[in-house]
Amino acid sequence: MTITITTPLYYVNDKPHLGSTYTTIACDAFARYKKLNGNNVVFITGVDEHGQKIERTAKANNISPSDHCSKIASQYEMLWKKWSISNDKFIRTTSSQHKTLVEKFFHRVDQNGDIRLGRQQGWYCVGCEEYKDDPPGAKDPICSTHKMPLEWRDEENLFFCLSKYQTKIENLISQPNFVQPISRRNEIINFVSKGLKDFSISRVNISWGIPVPGFKGHTFYVWFDALLGYLSGLQTKGEVELDELNNYGWPADVHVIGKDILRFHAVYWPAMLMSAGLDLPHRVFGHGFLTREGNKMGKSLGNVLDPELLLDKYGEDPVRWYLLSDIKFGQDGDFQEKRFIDLTNNDLANTIGNLLNRTSSMSRKWFSNCVPNIHKENENNELKLLASKTISDVINYYEQLSFKEACKAILDLASSSNLYLNDNEPWKLIKQNSERELVSYHLYNVLESCRIVATLIAPVLPNLSRKILNQLGFFDSLQSWEHQLVWGVLEKGQELPEPSPIIPRLE
């Protein structure tokens, strides 16, 4: 079975920001978990390149829309490589295969009687690329998101007959797992309960977009076009018919998105798919926003965190750990630099890193640079029992995209291993020749616990996981959990490399 996971297709009006990086890191962790857990995974990300906002941004910078899009798209691709993002596909909505699929999809929906010609009047935000319902301020309304004046529009548009799908959408969103977390589900239920209205799927007098076949002067509305990127992203070289997409990974297991675009994914998108006779995604997960030191980030405030600079300054492990371990996925989160540094030092450098280094150092010193060779197992081995429970818990947490809870469970195993080491004091026992076997037993347990920690943490911190496993003598890349998440894989007598700090402390 193929598991398809998607990020939003990021709008290329500007370079990548920390919010898009956060979403992509979370998707990457989930995709890595699914792959390690034995699934065939298609992880899709990419960029949304059409619309009036792009057209105006390019004009302001004195370049063509095409050149602007290529420049920003390359920045996304480069940044995801720097962050070790494991995406399988990167879709650009300016690709020829995407254009062809959009036309096929429109033709099918039109044939189904779900397209009508009408007139659209209202206040429009170019930044949001959408009409605003009853904006505050009757004379000169402002977009609450972009703090820019809205524009009055009165034009002929094509409409998708969303109102026809009121009952079907109500039934869909009533399912407990379709929209997650529950707070987002409640938002959507409230929105749909007010009655669905047909929505415009074309714009006129906009050159930068995909022309609507058969309707001169109309280009596809950016949201109708962009959502179809999840389908065109599944295509390989050459065109794939809509009904063949199931062979390439459709439907998606989960669309991970920011909460601000929830309505498009949880209402408009499934209705479009219903019209086209295609399967629906299994889940839409809307996560929260990031602030900095309690304040909204913005260029005008001068407090935007550049993900590339953050990566260069601190490295990927500390940032990935902070974003996924300290912020409950689905809720808003706040980036606090002092807390970020404290968590890196306490969790990664001290609890995990120091545990591994001191245990492997004792093992090398007292057991000829090797893993201690133990001769018998204790059925009441407390670390083995805890590791077994941790494995079960962490898999369940990953499955629910509960990254914070998964990280806490992994860290608890490392903390318990530190306590185990302190309680049993092998540095004292080794002074008694009669206790050498007990020392080897205790050190083996802690080293094996470190291996379990490294294996479980791989989806969140693939780089740190690899470093820990290398220090335990495992140099092959971790491919599957099938034979790794069991106690006793660490081979007795295996040579241990010279220990070194796996993650530096931050000052």
Binding residues: 125, 128, 143, 146
Cα–Cα distance for residue pair 256/360, rounded to 1 Å: 40
Cα–Cα distance for residue pair 452/469, rounded to 1 Å: 10
Cα–Cα distance for residue pair 69/88, rounded to 1 Å: 21
Cα–Cα distance for residue pair 49/64, rounded to 1 Å: 12
Number of other residues whose CB lies within 10 A of the CB of residue 204: 16
Task: Tell me the torsion sign for CA atoms 327, 328, 329, 334.
Answer: negative
Cα–Cα distance for residue pair 321/310, rounded to 1 Å: 13
Cα–Cα distance for residue pair 336/97, rounded to 1 Å: 43
Which amino acid, one-letter code, is at 414?
A: A
Residue 359: Cβ-neighbour burial (10 angstroms; 0-12, 13-18, 19+): buried
Cα–Cα distance for residue pair 178/273, rounded to 1 Å: 15
Contact 358, 396 (CB under 8 A): no
Q: How far is CA 8 from CA 43, 90, 114, 235, in A?
A: 11, 11, 25, 17
Which of 298, 64, 287, 264 shows the shortest CA–CA distance to 180?
Answer: 287
SS (H, E, C) 50-62: CCHHHHHHHHHCC
Cα–Cα distance for residue pair 98/232, rounded to 1 Å: 5
Which of 207, 208, 262, 221 shows the shortest CA–CA distance to 115?
Answer: 221
Q: Any idea how long the chain is?
A: 507
Cite the annotated binding site for Zn(2+) by residue number: 125, 128, 143, 146
Task: Tell me the torsion sign for CA atoms 216, 217, 223, 226.
Answer: positive
DSSP secondary structure string for all residues of 226-259: HHTHHHHTT--SS---GGGGGGGTPSPSEEEEEG
* SS3 label, residue 120: strand
